[in-house]
Amino acid sequence: MGSHRDSLPTPATQAGRDGLDAILERPGRAVLAFDFDGTLAPIVPDPDQARAHPDAVPALAALAPKVASVAVVTGRPAGVAVRHGGFAGVPGLDRLVVLGHYGAERWDARTGTVHAPAPHPGVAAVRAELPGLLDRIGAWHGTWIEEKGRSVAVHTRRAEDPSAAFEALRRPLADLAARHGLIVEPGRMVLELRPPGMDKGVALREYVREIGAGAVLYAGDDLGDLSAFAAVDKLRSDGVPGLLVCSGSEEVAELAERADLVVDGPEGVVRLLRALARRLP
């Protein structure tokens, strides 16, 4: 028997309550979508060490057979998210889809394969120039580069003054990205240089349309999730009920303010998944 901490919370907004009601009433038409880092996985100083919350995959596996689809929408390469999440070969998750690199890559649990277009040539050019750029502006002790295949990210979380390093790098990195046809996606103490045209909102909207969903839940924790929140807002205006969940973070107040429901990080997301699974037939 679950404790009161595991009961299904009530969204703070009417739109959120309508979205939750639609999921509960017609789960077979619902798409449940989640960011990875900070939502299904705790934030850690080194992204290579990020792993899904130990209870996240069992909770997803209990819930997934009861809904139309479960999707993970992430800026990470799809294959990396699958490995770090432990999503492959899990009973109950045979319909899971991972939309990686903001939707540019897709992994389907049914086939276990990743489909992706050719990389943008600007990423290789930026990758070559970044070390010299960081040296010229003072190297920012503790700042480091993450290779992501179809994008490259500069992290400041381990710098002596993470916020100061983040702000000092915004303009030079934006200029570098623009020279090579890329954009900069800011996050929690990270600046990612990536191709334009895809974001989590585009990825989510296209997937919801593909599935023909009658309701959608999206949970995220960072600035990159704002586009997915906007996509759910647009879907709601088009008659598709939706629920916006913020995986609570004091670092990104803007997302919490936009959410229908704020939960306590990945642990809170897991409790929400468990509560939904218990409520659904």
Q: Give residue 219's pLDDT.
A: 98
Residue with tokens 């429901």: 261
Element (H, E) at 179: helix 162-179
Number of domains in the chain: 2
Q: Give residue 191's pLDDT.
A: 95
Out of 194, 228, 247, a domain closes at: 194
Out of 173, 194, 215, a domain closes at: 194
Nearest one of 138, 260, 193, 115 to 272, comparing CA atoms: 260
Q: Give residue 44's pLDDT.
A: 87
User: How many CA atoms are closer than 13 Å to the CA of 73, on its beta-carbon side?
Assistant: 33
Q: Give residue 116's pLDDT.
A: 86
Out of 194, 221, 238, a domain closes at: 194
Q: Give residue 139's pLDDT.
A: 53
Q: Give residue 7's pLDDT.
A: 87
Q: Give residue 3's pLDDT.
A: 41
Strands 242-247 and 215-220: parallel
How distant, in Å, are the alpha carbons of 44, 91, 151, 190 from that of 140? 20, 45, 21, 13
Residue 233 annotated among the catalytic residues of the structure: no
Q: Give residue 117's pLDDT.
A: 81
Same domain for 203 and 189: no
Report yes or no on 174 lying in a domain: yes
Same domain for 72 and 126: no
Same domain for 138 and 70: no
CATH of the domain at 91: 3.40.50.1000
User: How many CA atoms are closer than 13 Å to the CA of 12, on its beta-carbon side?
Assistant: 11
Same domain for 23 and 91: yes
Residues of the chain with pLDDT under 70: 1-6, 138-140, 249
Selected catalytic residue, list 6, 18, 21, 35: 35
Q: Give residue 249's pLDDT.
A: 65
Range of the domain at 150: 121-194
Report yes or no on 5 lying in a domain: no
Q: Give residue 138's pLDDT.
A: 65
Inter-helix orientation angle 162-179/121-136, to 10° = 130
Report yes or no on 99 lying in a domain: yes
Same domain for 262 and 155: no
